[in-house]
Protein backbone atom coordinates (compact mmCIF):
# COMPACT_ATOMS: atom_id res chain seq x y z
CA UNK A 1 0.00 0.00 0.00
CA UNK A 2 2.84 2.39 0.91
CA UNK A 3 4.65 1.48 -2.31
CA UNK A 4 1.48 2.28 -4.19
CA UNK A 5 0.96 5.57 -2.42
CA UNK A 6 4.49 6.59 -3.34
CA UNK A 7 3.83 5.68 -6.98
CA UNK A 8 0.48 7.45 -6.91
CA UNK A 9 2.23 10.64 -5.83
CA UNK A 10 4.49 10.56 -8.87
CA UNK A 11 3.04 11.08 -12.32
CA UNK A 12 2.56 7.43 -13.22
CA UNK A 13 -0.93 6.10 -13.65
CA UNK A 14 -0.20 2.36 -13.73
CA UNK A 15 1.98 -0.17 -11.98
CA UNK A 16 2.64 -3.75 -13.10
CA UNK A 17 2.83 -6.99 -11.16
CA UNK A 18 6.61 -7.20 -11.54
CA UNK A 19 7.09 -3.82 -9.86
CA UNK A 20 4.59 -4.71 -7.13
CA UNK A 21 6.36 -8.01 -6.63
CA UNK A 22 9.73 -6.29 -6.27
CA UNK A 23 8.35 -3.80 -3.74
CA UNK A 24 6.74 -6.54 -1.67
CA UNK A 25 9.18 -9.42 -2.17
CA UNK A 26 6.58 -11.66 -3.81
CA UNK A 27 6.70 -13.40 -7.20
CA UNK A 28 4.83 -11.67 -10.07
CA UNK A 29 2.46 -14.59 -10.55
CA UNK A 30 1.52 -14.56 -6.87
CA UNK A 31 0.88 -10.79 -7.02
CA UNK A 32 -1.52 -11.31 -9.93
CA UNK A 33 -3.26 -14.18 -8.16
CA UNK A 34 -3.60 -12.26 -4.88
CA UNK A 35 -4.92 -9.18 -6.63
CA UNK A 36 -7.37 -11.21 -8.71
CA UNK A 37 -8.74 -12.68 -5.47
CA UNK A 38 -9.80 -9.19 -4.34
CA UNK A 39 -11.26 -8.36 -7.74
CA UNK A 40 -8.40 -6.25 -9.11
CA UNK A 41 -7.51 -6.90 -12.73
CA UNK A 42 -4.63 -5.39 -14.67
CA UNK A 43 -4.24 -4.93 -18.42
CA UNK A 44 -1.50 -7.01 -20.05
CA UNK A 45 1.46 -4.79 -20.96
CA UNK A 46 0.01 -1.83 -19.07
CA UNK A 47 -0.48 -3.01 -15.50
CA UNK A 48 -2.93 -1.95 -12.84
CA UNK A 49 -4.46 1.53 -12.76
CA UNK A 50 -3.15 2.88 -9.46
CA UNK A 51 -6.29 4.67 -8.17
CA UNK A 52 -8.54 1.67 -8.86
CA UNK A 53 -6.02 -0.74 -7.37
CA UNK A 54 -5.76 1.31 -4.19
CA UNK A 55 -9.53 1.38 -3.91
CA UNK A 56 -9.72 -2.42 -4.36
CA UNK A 57 -7.01 -2.90 -1.72
CA UNK A 58 -8.72 -0.56 0.71
CA UNK A 59 -12.04 -2.37 0.20
CA UNK A 60 -10.41 -5.76 0.77
CA UNK A 61 -8.93 -4.47 4.02
CA UNK A 62 -12.21 -3.05 5.28
CA UNK A 63 -11.01 0.52 4.75
CA UNK A 64 -13.51 1.63 2.09
CA UNK A 65 -16.07 2.56 4.70
CA UNK A 66 -16.36 4.60 7.88
CA UNK A 67 -15.71 2.85 11.16
CA UNK A 68 -17.30 4.23 14.29
CA UNK A 69 -15.24 3.96 17.43
CA UNK A 70 -15.88 4.76 21.08
CA UNK A 71 -13.00 5.89 23.24
CA UNK A 72 -12.85 4.87 26.89
CA UNK A 73 -10.46 6.93 28.95
CA UNK A 74 -10.14 10.70 28.77
CA UNK A 75 -6.60 10.76 30.15
CA UNK A 76 -3.45 11.71 28.26
CA UNK A 77 -3.67 9.00 25.63
CA UNK A 78 -7.37 9.61 25.09
CA UNK A 79 -6.81 13.34 24.68
CA UNK A 80 -3.94 12.74 22.28
CA UNK A 81 -6.24 10.56 20.16
CA UNK A 82 -9.00 13.17 20.24
CA UNK A 83 -6.52 15.74 18.96
CA UNK A 84 -5.22 13.43 16.23
CA UNK A 85 -5.72 15.18 12.93
CA UNK A 86 -6.22 12.39 10.44
CA UNK A 87 -8.77 9.95 11.84
CA UNK A 88 -11.82 11.43 10.15
CA UNK A 89 -10.21 11.74 6.74
CA UNK A 90 -9.04 8.11 6.97
CA UNK A 91 -12.56 6.90 7.75
CA UNK A 92 -12.47 6.62 11.53
CA UNK A 93 -15.16 8.44 13.44
CA UNK A 94 -14.72 8.78 17.20
CA UNK A 95 -18.41 8.92 18.08
CA UNK A 96 -18.21 9.03 21.89
CA UNK A 97 -15.84 9.39 24.82
CA UNK A 98 -16.43 7.68 28.14
CA UNK A 99 -14.61 7.82 31.45
CA UNK A 100 -15.30 6.55 34.93
CA UNK A 101 -13.95 9.61 36.80
CA UNK A 102 -16.78 11.86 38.04
CA UNK A 103 -14.42 14.83 37.70
CA UNK A 104 -14.22 14.26 33.92
CA UNK A 105 -17.75 13.04 33.11
CA UNK A 106 -19.81 15.85 31.62
CA UNK A 107 -16.79 17.83 30.50
CA UNK A 108 -16.45 18.73 26.85
CA UNK A 109 -13.41 17.32 25.01
CA UNK A 110 -12.88 17.99 21.31
CA UNK A 111 -16.61 18.45 20.83
CA UNK A 112 -17.62 15.37 22.85
CA UNK A 113 -19.32 15.49 26.22
CA UNK A 114 -17.60 12.78 28.27
CA UNK A 115 -20.12 10.06 29.21
CA UNK A 116 -20.05 7.91 32.33
CA UNK A 117 -19.15 4.21 32.00
CA UNK A 118 -22.71 3.31 32.96
CA UNK A 119 -23.78 4.65 29.56
CA UNK A 120 -21.54 2.28 27.58
CA UNK A 121 -24.19 -0.16 26.35
CA UNK A 122 -26.54 2.66 25.49
CA UNK A 123 -23.87 4.67 23.65
CA UNK A 124 -22.76 1.68 21.58
CA UNK A 125 -26.30 0.70 20.69
CA UNK A 126 -27.25 4.26 19.77
CA UNK A 127 -24.12 4.99 17.69
CA UNK A 128 -23.62 1.52 16.22
CA UNK A 129 -19.91 1.75 17.07
CA UNK A 130 -18.01 -1.42 16.16
CA UNK A 131 -14.59 -0.46 17.49
CA UNK A 132 -13.57 0.38 21.03
CA UNK A 133 -10.39 2.13 22.16
CA UNK A 134 -9.19 1.21 25.64
CA UNK A 135 -7.08 4.06 27.05
CA UNK A 136 -7.51 3.42 30.76
CA UNK A 137 -5.05 2.35 33.50
CA UNK A 138 -3.84 -1.27 33.19
CA UNK A 139 -5.86 -2.42 36.20
CA UNK A 140 -9.11 -1.39 34.46
CA UNK A 141 -8.34 -2.48 30.90
CA UNK A 142 -9.77 -6.00 31.08
CA UNK A 143 -13.11 -5.02 32.61
CA UNK A 144 -13.51 -2.07 30.24
CA UNK A 145 -12.77 -4.29 27.23
CA UNK A 146 -15.31 -6.82 28.44
CA UNK A 147 -17.94 -4.10 28.83
CA UNK A 148 -17.25 -2.89 25.28
CA UNK A 149 -17.48 -6.37 23.80
CA UNK A 150 -20.61 -7.16 25.78
CA UNK A 151 -22.18 -3.99 24.37
CA UNK A 152 -21.42 -5.07 20.79
CA UNK A 153 -17.95 -3.87 19.89
CA UNK A 154 -16.14 -6.25 17.46
CA UNK A 155 -12.63 -4.80 17.58
CA UNK A 156 -10.59 -3.40 20.46
CA UNK A 157 -7.55 -1.14 20.34
CA UNK A 158 -5.71 -1.61 23.63
CA UNK A 159 -3.33 1.06 24.90
CA UNK A 160 -2.95 -0.49 28.35
CA UNK A 161 0.30 -2.42 28.76
CA UNK A 162 -1.55 -5.56 29.74
CA UNK A 163 -2.81 -8.35 27.43
CA UNK A 164 -6.59 -8.67 27.14
CA UNK A 165 -8.37 -12.01 27.35
CA UNK A 166 -11.40 -11.74 25.07
CA UNK A 167 -13.51 -14.03 22.93
CA UNK A 168 -11.69 -15.25 19.82
CA UNK A 169 -14.32 -13.57 17.66
CA UNK A 170 -13.13 -10.12 18.79
CA UNK A 171 -10.16 -8.50 17.02
CA UNK A 172 -7.60 -6.98 19.37
CA UNK A 173 -4.70 -4.72 18.41
CA UNK A 174 -2.36 -3.61 21.19
CA UNK A 175 -0.16 -0.53 21.27
CA UNK A 176 2.59 -1.14 23.80
CA UNK A 177 5.06 1.73 24.04
CA UNK A 178 7.66 -0.48 25.74
CA UNK A 179 7.60 -2.86 22.78
CA UNK A 180 7.93 0.12 20.46
CA UNK A 181 11.00 1.34 22.33
CA UNK A 182 12.42 -2.19 22.26
CA UNK A 183 12.03 -2.20 18.49
CA UNK A 184 13.82 1.15 18.31
CA UNK A 185 16.65 -0.13 20.53
CA UNK A 186 16.97 -3.19 18.31
CA UNK A 187 17.03 -1.14 15.10
CA UNK A 188 19.50 1.32 16.60
CA UNK A 189 21.76 -1.59 17.56
CA UNK A 190 21.49 -3.02 14.03
CA UNK A 191 22.31 0.34 12.40
CA UNK A 192 25.37 0.71 14.60
CA UNK A 193 26.69 -2.76 13.90
CA UNK A 194 26.10 -2.27 10.17
CA UNK A 195 27.83 1.11 10.36
CA UNK A 196 30.88 -0.23 12.18
CA UNK A 197 31.06 -3.17 9.79
CA UNK A 198 31.07 -0.92 6.73
CA UNK A 199 33.79 1.20 8.34
CA UNK A 200 35.86 -1.97 8.87
CA UNK A 201 35.85 -2.94 5.21
CA UNK B 1 10.37 -13.88 22.64
CA UNK B 2 6.66 -13.85 23.61
CA UNK B 3 6.52 -17.64 23.19
CA UNK B 4 9.51 -17.90 25.50
CA UNK B 5 8.00 -15.57 28.06
CA UNK B 6 4.85 -17.70 28.12
CA UNK B 7 6.97 -20.81 28.66
CA UNK B 8 9.05 -19.07 31.29
CA UNK B 9 5.90 -18.32 33.26
CA UNK B 10 4.99 -22.00 33.39
CA UNK B 11 7.10 -24.42 35.37
CA UNK B 12 9.32 -25.58 32.55
CA UNK B 13 12.99 -24.74 32.61
CA UNK B 14 13.94 -25.74 29.04
CA UNK B 15 12.59 -25.49 25.53
CA UNK B 16 13.87 -27.32 22.47
CA UNK B 17 14.44 -26.18 18.91
CA UNK B 18 11.42 -28.12 17.61
CA UNK B 19 9.09 -26.26 19.97
CA UNK B 20 10.71 -22.94 19.16
CA UNK B 21 10.42 -23.74 15.46
CA UNK B 22 6.72 -24.54 15.80
CA UNK B 23 6.06 -21.31 17.69
CA UNK B 24 7.91 -19.21 15.12
CA UNK B 25 7.20 -21.13 11.91
CA UNK B 26 10.87 -21.89 11.26
CA UNK B 27 12.55 -25.28 10.71
CA UNK B 28 14.34 -26.80 13.75
CA UNK B 29 17.73 -26.73 12.05
CA UNK B 30 17.36 -23.04 11.23
CA UNK B 31 16.38 -22.29 14.85
CA UNK B 32 19.56 -24.01 16.09
CA UNK B 33 21.68 -22.18 13.52
CA UNK B 34 20.14 -18.76 14.33
CA UNK B 35 20.53 -19.28 18.06
CA UNK B 36 24.13 -20.47 17.67
CA UNK B 37 24.88 -17.24 15.80
CA UNK B 38 23.95 -15.21 18.91
CA UNK B 39 25.94 -17.54 21.17
CA UNK B 40 23.04 -19.59 22.57
CA UNK B 41 23.71 -23.31 22.82
CA UNK B 42 21.25 -25.99 23.85
CA UNK B 43 21.88 -29.42 25.29
CA UNK B 44 20.94 -32.37 23.03
CA UNK B 45 17.80 -34.05 24.32
CA UNK B 46 17.19 -31.27 26.87
CA UNK B 47 16.96 -28.06 24.89
CA UNK B 48 17.77 -24.50 25.79
CA UNK B 49 17.61 -23.23 29.37
CA UNK B 50 14.87 -20.61 29.15
CA UNK B 51 16.39 -17.87 31.36
CA UNK B 52 19.78 -18.02 29.61
CA UNK B 53 18.16 -18.14 26.19
CA UNK B 54 16.07 -15.06 26.96
CA UNK B 55 19.17 -13.25 28.14
CA UNK B 56 21.05 -14.17 24.95
CA UNK B 57 18.12 -13.02 22.84
CA UNK B 58 17.84 -9.74 24.73
CA UNK B 59 21.55 -9.14 24.34
CA UNK B 60 21.40 -9.82 20.60
CA UNK B 61 18.55 -7.32 20.29
CA UNK B 62 20.35 -4.62 22.26
CA UNK B 63 18.01 -5.05 25.23
CA UNK B 64 20.53 -6.26 27.83
CA UNK B 65 21.49 -2.71 28.72
CA UNK B 66 19.88 0.57 29.69
CA UNK B 67 18.99 3.01 26.93
CA UNK B 68 18.76 6.67 27.77
CA UNK B 69 16.10 8.61 25.91
CA UNK B 70 15.13 12.25 25.76
CA UNK B 71 11.52 13.18 25.21
CA UNK B 72 10.64 16.23 23.15
CA UNK B 73 7.07 17.40 23.62
CA UNK B 74 5.32 17.67 26.96
CA UNK B 75 1.82 17.47 25.49
CA UNK B 76 -0.64 14.61 25.87
CA UNK B 77 1.52 11.92 24.27
CA UNK B 78 4.60 13.06 26.18
CA UNK B 79 2.71 13.02 29.46
CA UNK B 80 1.29 9.59 28.70
CA UNK B 81 4.82 8.31 28.11
CA UNK B 82 6.08 9.90 31.33
CA UNK B 83 3.32 8.11 33.21
CA UNK B 84 4.05 4.80 31.51
CA UNK B 85 4.81 2.27 34.23
CA UNK B 86 7.18 -0.19 32.60
CA UNK B 87 9.92 1.78 30.85
CA UNK B 88 12.44 1.74 33.67
CA UNK B 89 12.07 -1.93 34.44
CA UNK B 90 12.50 -2.75 30.73
CA UNK B 91 15.74 -0.77 30.55
CA UNK B 92 14.54 2.56 29.16
CA UNK B 93 15.45 5.63 31.10
CA UNK B 94 13.73 8.90 30.16
CA UNK B 95 16.52 11.22 31.20
CA UNK B 96 15.08 14.57 30.11
CA UNK B 97 11.96 16.28 28.81
CA UNK B 98 12.11 19.27 26.47
CA UNK B 99 9.42 21.52 25.04
CA UNK B 100 9.42 24.74 23.08
CA UNK B 101 6.39 26.31 24.81
CA UNK B 102 7.47 28.91 27.39
CA UNK B 103 4.35 28.05 29.40
CA UNK B 104 5.65 24.51 29.94
CA UNK B 105 9.41 25.06 30.25
CA UNK B 106 10.50 24.99 33.87
CA UNK B 107 7.45 23.03 35.00
CA UNK B 108 7.97 19.73 36.79
CA UNK B 109 6.57 16.62 35.08
CA UNK B 110 7.04 13.17 36.59
CA UNK B 111 10.16 14.35 38.37
CA UNK B 112 11.65 16.13 35.32
CA UNK B 113 11.96 19.88 34.99
CA UNK B 114 10.95 20.61 31.39
CA UNK B 115 13.92 22.10 29.48
CA UNK B 116 13.74 24.56 26.60
CA UNK B 117 14.61 23.34 23.08
CA UNK B 118 17.70 25.54 23.14
CA UNK B 119 19.16 23.12 25.69
CA UNK B 120 18.87 20.08 23.43
CA UNK B 121 22.54 19.70 22.47
CA UNK B 122 23.64 20.32 26.02
CA UNK B 123 21.14 17.86 27.50
CA UNK B 124 22.09 15.10 25.08
CA UNK B 125 25.82 15.61 25.62
CA UNK B 126 25.44 15.70 29.38
CA UNK B 127 23.14 12.66 29.65
CA UNK B 128 24.62 10.62 26.80
CA UNK B 129 21.10 9.89 25.55
CA UNK B 130 21.09 7.81 22.37
CA UNK B 131 17.35 7.73 21.73
CA UNK B 132 14.99 10.62 21.09
CA UNK B 133 11.21 10.58 21.31
CA UNK B 134 9.42 13.07 19.06
CA UNK B 135 6.01 13.89 20.50
CA UNK B 136 5.42 17.32 18.97
CA UNK B 137 2.89 18.59 16.41
CA UNK B 138 3.45 17.28 12.85
CA UNK B 139 4.68 20.64 11.59
CA UNK B 140 7.58 20.58 14.06
CA UNK B 141 8.53 16.90 13.90
CA UNK B 142 11.15 17.13 11.14
CA UNK B 143 13.09 20.02 12.63
CA UNK B 144 12.98 18.52 16.13
CA UNK B 145 14.23 15.18 14.81
CA UNK B 146 17.07 16.93 12.98
CA UNK B 147 18.06 18.78 16.16
CA UNK B 148 18.12 15.49 18.08
CA UNK B 149 20.22 13.73 15.46
CA UNK B 150 22.58 16.68 15.19
CA UNK B 151 23.06 16.54 18.95
CA UNK B 152 24.02 12.87 18.80
CA UNK B 153 20.85 10.78 19.02
CA UNK B 154 21.08 7.49 17.03
CA UNK B 155 17.46 6.36 17.16
CA UNK B 156 14.20 8.32 16.90
CA UNK B 157 10.72 7.28 17.98
CA UNK B 158 8.28 9.42 16.00
CA UNK B 159 4.73 9.95 17.24
CA UNK B 160 3.95 12.67 14.71
CA UNK B 161 1.84 11.40 11.80
CA UNK B 162 4.42 12.61 9.27
CA UNK B 163 7.37 10.63 7.87
CA UNK B 164 10.82 11.88 8.89
CA UNK B 165 13.65 12.28 6.40
CA UNK B 166 16.85 11.55 8.30
CA UNK B 167 20.30 10.17 7.56
CA UNK B 168 20.27 6.45 6.81
CA UNK B 169 22.50 5.83 9.82
CA UNK B 170 19.69 6.87 12.18
CA UNK B 171 17.06 4.30 13.19
CA UNK B 172 13.49 5.57 13.05
CA UNK B 173 10.40 3.85 14.40
CA UNK B 174 7.06 5.54 13.85
CA UNK B 175 3.88 5.15 15.86
CA UNK B 176 0.98 6.21 13.68
CA UNK B 177 -2.40 5.83 15.38
CA UNK B 178 -4.24 5.97 12.06
CA UNK B 179 -2.25 2.97 10.82
CA UNK B 180 -3.00 1.20 14.07
CA UNK B 181 -6.74 1.79 13.62
CA UNK B 182 -6.46 0.60 10.02
CA UNK B 183 -4.91 -2.63 11.25
CA UNK B 184 -7.75 -3.02 13.73
CA UNK B 185 -10.36 -2.39 11.01
CA UNK B 186 -8.64 -4.97 8.81
CA UNK B 187 -8.51 -7.58 11.58
CA UNK B 188 -12.11 -6.89 12.56
CA UNK B 189 -13.14 -7.39 8.92
CA UNK B 190 -11.16 -10.66 8.78
CA UNK B 191 -12.72 -11.98 12.01
CA UNK B 192 -16.18 -11.22 10.70
CA UNK B 193 -15.62 -12.90 7.35
CA UNK B 194 -14.13 -15.95 9.09
CA UNK B 195 -17.07 -15.99 11.48
CA UNK B 196 -19.67 -15.84 8.72
CA UNK B 197 -17.78 -18.48 6.76
CA UNK B 198 -17.73 -20.92 9.66
CA UNK B 199 -21.47 -20.37 10.15
CA UNK B 200 -22.06 -21.19 6.49
CA UNK B 201 -20.38 -24.58 6.64
Selection from B148, B171, B146, B145 nearest residue B61 by Cα: B171
Find the helix or strand (DSSP H, E) in which B143 lies. Answer: helix B138-151
* pLDDT score for B52: 82
Q: For A191, which of B84, B87, B154 is closest by C-beta distance?
A: B154
- Residue A173, beta-bridge partner list: A157
Average pLDDT of the residues in B38-59 = 82
Q: Give me the residues of chain A with pLDDT under 50, please.
A: 199-201
CB contact under 8 A, A67 and B170: no
pLDDT given at position A49: 85
Interface mutation target, options B57, B73, B76, B181, chain A, most CBs of A under 10 Å: B181
Contact A103, A76 (CB under 8 A): no
Q: Cα torsion at B111, B112, B114, B118 (round to 10°)?
A: 170
Angstrom distances, CA of residue B169 to CA of A197, B141, B159, B172, B173: 12, 18, 20, 10, 13
Q: Do B77 and A81 touch (CB under 8 A)?
A: no
* pLDDT of amino acid B8: 55
Question: What is the mean predicted confidence (pLDDT) over B104-109?
Answer: 96
Q: Does the pLDDT at position B127 exceed 90?
A: yes
- Choose between A179 and B8: higher pLDDT: A179
Terminal CA-CA length for chain B: 36
pLDDT tens digits, residue range A175-185? 999 989 999 99
At residue B141 the predicted structure's pLDDT band, cuts being 50, 70 and 90, is: very high
Give the Cα separation of A178 and B133 in Å (integer): 12
Residue, of B128 and B38, whose pLDDT is higher: B128
| pLDDT: which is higher, B148 or B56 | B148
B195 touches chain A (CB under 8 A): yes
Q: Which residues in chain B have their CB less than 8 angstroms from residue A171's CB?
A: 184, 187-188, 190-191
Q: Is the pLDDT assigned to residue B60 strictly greater than 80? A: no
pLDDT at B201: 40
For chain A, list the domains and their CATH numbers: 2-60 (1.10.10.10), 67-175 (3.40.50.720)
Q: B67 - beta bridge partners? A: B92
- Is B130 within 8 Å of A188 when comparing Cβ atoms? yes
pLDDT at B122 over 70: yes
More reliable by pLDDT, A63 or B34: B34
- Identify the pLDDT of residue A201: 40
Nearest partner of A148 among A122, A176, A175, judged by Cα: A122
CA separation for the pair A68, A59 (Å, rounded): 16
Q: Angle at which helices A17-24 and A28-37 pack, to 10 degrees?
A: 100
Question: Within a 10 A sphere around the Cβ of A5, how many other Cβ atoms?
Answer: 10
Q: What is the mean pLDDT of chain A?
A: 87
Residues of A in contact with B79 (CB under 8 A): 76
What's the whole-model pTM score?
0.75
Amino acid sequence: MRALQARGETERSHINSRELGEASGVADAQVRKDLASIGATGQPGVGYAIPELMEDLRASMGLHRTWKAVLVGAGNIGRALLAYPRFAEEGFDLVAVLDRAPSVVGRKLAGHTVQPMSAVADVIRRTGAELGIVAVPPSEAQIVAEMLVHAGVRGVLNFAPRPLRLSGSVAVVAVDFTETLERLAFETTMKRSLGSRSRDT
